[in-house]
Amino acid sequence: MRAVRDVRDTRTGRDAKPKDEGVDRPGVWSAYGVLLQYLRKRAGLNQQQLGDAMGYSLEQVASVEQGRRPAKAAFTTAAERALEAGGVLEALQGEVDRAKLPRFFRNFALFEAEAVSRFDYEPLLVPGLLQTEAYARALFAGHCPPLNEEVIDQHTEARLGRQKLLTRVPLAELSFIIGEEALRNPVADRQVMRGQWQHLLDVRALRNVEIQVMPARCGFHSGLNGPFVVLETKEHQHLGYIESQDVGCVVHDPAEVSAFGLRYGKLRSQALNGDESARLIERLVGET
């Protein structure tokens, strides 16, 4: 669905030509824009008047209406208030945010948002749910082929948004096993890495989060085949997830998911325990 064009030039007052014509944007952004435009016209406002009422520029309102830019939560809150929308825009916000994620991850994100437990093994990078903004941005900035700044911003914002799972009520049981190599690999400068290590120590204090480190010299273990996630949904369905080179796969087969669970249990027994892991991370912080 494409949003109806209704943009006025800030200098002439005439209808402005939409930008990015032909660019493939997530459908939910366009649907949100169509709904916003309908509510605005119902209220008898033009884009400039709505922007003034919300504290946003005409261009920001126009971009959202055209589906060129996703609405952020603060924008939606302001629009709901200015248009007396009755919660219809807020109902779309979760889908708008999810569409900022890389396409290959969106299906799994639906399960993740309502998980009752999530166990994550990541040998090479700090898991996304534990990343700081600076660390996440550094990873997206290094993507090949390169991402433009707008996409980097959207992916970073979406990744940080997923971290609501850490403190969501009811609490989810969360376990992370991180390879020591992931902690020592300087994917960003020392200041960013130090902030990331300190963040791990802070998150570890949450009573529903366990963080363990797999020592670099552990020898053979079942995680050498790559990262994976084991997740339990609110319906108590168990799923697996594997990802590599921008390709993600949700695993539903019970036998395969069971094998993931067995491997994760084995990895837990081979990794440093929580206190030992914290001391290793504290040493990394102290070395900076």
pLDDT (tens digit per residue) in 108-167: 999 999 999 999 999 999 999 999 999 999 999 999 999 999 999 999 999 999 999 999
User: Looking up tokens 């016209």, which residue turns up?
Assistant: 41
| Cα radius of gyration rounded to whole Å, the chain | 22
d(CA 69, CA 67): 6
Average pLDDT over residues 219-237: 93
CB atoms within 10 A of CB 8: 15
Whether the Cβ atoms of residue 106 and residue 163 lie closer than 8 Å to each other: no
Q: What's the pLDDT score for residue 222?
A: 87
CA 187 to chain centre: 19
Average pLDDT over residues 241-254: 96
Secondary structure of residue 229 in the 3-state scheme: strand
Angle at 110 between CA 108 and CA 114, to 5 degrees: 115
Confidence (pTM): 0.81
Which tokens is 288 given?
A: 């900076």
Dihedral sign from CA coordinates of 47, 48, 51, 52: negative
Whether the Cβ atoms of residue 136 and residue 128 lie closer than 8 Å to each other: yes
